[in-house]
A = this chain, B = another copy of it.
Amino acid sequence: MDAIRRKVSTRELAPAEKLPSIRGLARSMQLSPSTVAEAYDRLVAEGLIHSRPGSGFYVAGSLPLALSEVEPRSNRAVDPFWVSRQSLDGGADMLRPGCGWLPADWMANPAIRRAMRRLTRSHDALLSDYGPVRGSLALRGLLARQFAAEGIEAGPDQILLTASGTQAIDLVCRLLLQPGDTVLLDDPCYFNFQALMRAHRVKIVGVAMTPTGPDPSAFAQAVKEHRPRLYVTNSAIHNPTGASLSPQTAHRILSLAADHEVTIVEDDIFADFEPEPSPRLAVLDGLSRVVRIGSFSKTLSASIRCGYIAARADWIEGLIDLQIATNFGGPSPVAAEIVHGALADGSYRKHLAGLRSRLARRRREVARSLEELGIRPFLEPRGGFYLWCRLPDGRDAGSLARFAMADGIVLAPGNVFSLGETAPDRMRFNVAQMADPRIGSWLRQALES
């Protein structure tokens, strides 16, 4: 350890330089490989070096000129950021059955490429100006027509494009919440809703999920007891459970929200995965107390970032000012143009139909192979790529996820989704990210040990 420390401090070992292999160094220093391995582990803990699974050990340190990438830390807390940080920052060879998106080669890449090529020939203003405050009129018009087909009468002026679906919810929170307010979330819910609410310094109250949406009597009690300002949910193909609202639950929740003056943010991000639309609060309500949020990250591209808010006209005005104040305008006009080009591309409907049937097949296959390991899905979702499962024998999903991370596998343990940490034996699996046979054999081994 001292030898390596000295070499790093004298820059004999440069930042980002690869260290000798454990076996090689053991041979040359006449030590046992386990001694070297232990020394390396300590240096990793000290932050002097870091390891890249499957590649070896590298010098860390302050690297003004080198191109180094920070590796995800397998020792970080299993908190609401756990899955995001680990799955976003893992190397290309990381396996990601816990992540929240489709593999790159499942996405609408040809349509994206065509839209980008068209864009390279467009006029200068589109490539270099900020663009209108609500974002591309063409894209908003397309959304407004889709909404009209569902029965929502909202003009393009009631739609505000944003830099992402998350930023869309963030803006609504900025408009409607004060620090100290209370917000209802489903328990379990998308982990980032918790992270976002904490950033807004609000109190969070959880409502238990059922296979047909939030439990109406729990919801009734929560709105009475806590007087929340906002309720944030996915009505269709709920993350992580895969539940979709029943008509009765939808009506009940909306009536309770009206009685207690709760505004609802309905995050419709998985809408395009549904074979046919299930009940939506925004449709029942007509955008009076429901705000619809969405994005194109799950079916089109997560790299070309664009989300939207559909809401009451007077709220849109306030949201525009807030978006200018905090981001100076909305999404990149170039991004909105690519999204519009790809959505309007003749191939997009076929792409969606293909995704849906491919995912239906994968959900069945993965459910079957998980069952063989004693891992049981909570329900059979109508669409999408998640299976919310119970591990056998009360196994702790958190420690399983930590072990998996050390082996280069990102899992999504139940409690990162649960406000009350009531899901220690649950795990969310992404069926589209489980083709690699190493995932199944890792799970089998881990559950047997």
A265 at the B interface (CB under 8 A) = no
State which residues 100-147 of A face B: CB under 8 Å. 101, 104-105, 107-109, 112-113, 116-117, 119-120, 123-134, 137-138, 141, 144-145, 147
A238 at the B interface (CB under 8 A) = no
Indicate the size class of the contact surface on chain A: 35 or more
CB of A47, distance to nearest CB on chain B (Å):
9
State which residues 41-86 of A face B: CB under 8 Å. 62-70, 80-81, 84-85
Contact A89 B132 (CB under 8 A): yes
Chain B residues near A116: list those with CB within 8 A: 116, 119-120
Q: Which residue of B lies closest to A193 (CB)?
A: B325
A30 at the B interface (CB under 8 A) = no
Partner of A174 from B85, B199, B328 at Cβ < 8 Å:
B199
Contact B156 A128 (CB under 8 A): no
A415 at the B interface (CB under 8 A) = no
A262 to B69 CA separation, bound complex (whole angstroms): 31
Q: Which of A272-280, A300-308, A392-400 contacts B (4 or more CB under 8 A)?
A: A300-308
Q: Which residue of B lies closest to A333 (CB)?
A: B303
A165 at the B interface (CB under 8 A) = yes
A166 at the B interface (CB under 8 A) = yes
Chain B residues near A105: list those with CB within 8 A: 124
* Those 3 A-B pairs whose CB atoms lie nearest each other, nearest first: A195-B325, A63-B155, A107-B128
Partner of A198 from B63, B65, B81, B325 at Cβ < 8 Å:
B325
Chain B residues near A109: list those with CB within 8 A: 124, 127-128
Chain B residues near A218: list those with CB within 8 A: none
CB of A141, distance to nearest CB on chain B (Å):
4
A8 at the B interface (CB under 8 A) = no
Q: Which residue of B lies closest to A63 (CB)?
A: B155
CB of A444, distance to nearest CB on chain B (Å):
28
CB of A91, distance to nearest CB on chain B (Å):
10
